[in-house]
Amino acid sequence: MFGNSPVISIVHNQAALPTKTISAISETGLNMKDQQGSNRNSSGVIAAVSAAVVAVSGGVAWLTWNSSNPPTPPNSSQTLNQPGQPSTTQPGQEQTANIYWLKDNGRNLQLAPQSVRVAAVQPNQVLEKAFQNLLAGPTKGSDSTTIPKGTKLLGLKVENDEVRVNLSEDFTSGGGSSSMVGRVGQVVYTATTLNPNAKVYVEVNGKPLEVLGGEGVELQQPMTRESFKNNYPL
């Protein structure tokens, strides 16, 4: 029996060694699990922080783009006038002027006014537009003019109680004395539509008109409505 005891002791010692090893392995396994859990937690935190950084970076980039590229406001200076819309000209920006045509009353000619609305407020502008209407010719069958077609307004100046009208050379062409007197009357009366007492100077190509037509109708300038009525009966 004594001969077998060492064997039992050796076997016992050999059986004890694996127990310590298993314990150490168990502890190592637990530590590895803790490290893995810690690693997983760290990975989760890193992922969350990365996502937040990406989101913030995207927001900053969006704000930067919008600040450097503001939305273009509509151009309020471009106004489209649709057909049929009323005129935007204010009533205070218009004036009434009279242009004068010739009418036959059965015995002689007479000067007949026609009212026109012009979009202007300055005397020069009002009279210029009035003369443009006069030189364009009558629009009614009962009105007539002896101003030759093609006559142009080269200039017009209003200063105090004087009006200077500069016409093209076409104004002096064609017609007899009555035609010459009639066209002068149209110019004088139209030029004095804003001030009936104004003095009128008639020029052709920038020079004072002294004699009109082949029959030599002499003009005494300046002319007024009163002087024309007395000196140049129609």
Q: Give the pLDDT confidence of 142-180 residue by residue, as tens digits.
A: 789 999 999 999 999 999 999 999 999 999 998 888 899
> Coil, helix or strand for 3?
helix
pLDDT of residue 55: 44
Numbers of helices and strands, H then E, in the chain: 4, 8
Angle 19-23-27 (CA atoms, 0-180°, nearest 5)?
170
> Is pLDDT larger for residue 31 or for residue 141?
141
110: which strand partners?
A: 103
Secondary structure element (H or E) that encloses residue 85, with its range = none
pLDDT of residue 37: 46
> Is pLDDT larger for residue 171 or for residue 105?
171
Question: Residue 26 pLDDT more than 80?
Answer: no
> Is pLDDT larger for residue 140 or for residue 58?
140
pLDDT of residue 131: 97
Mean pLDDT, residues 64-69? 51
**Whole-structure pTM value:** 0.61
Determine phi and psi for 31, rounding to 5 degrees: -60, -40
Q: How far is CA 98 from CA 95, 111, 125, 191, 222, in A?
A: 10, 11, 14, 9, 20
Report d(CA 182, CA 172) in Å as an integer: 12
56: which strand partners?
A: none
pLDDT of residue 142: 79
> Coil, helix or strand for 176?
coil
> Could you tell me if 103 and 142 are in contact, meaning their C-beta atoms sit under 8 angstroms apart?
yes
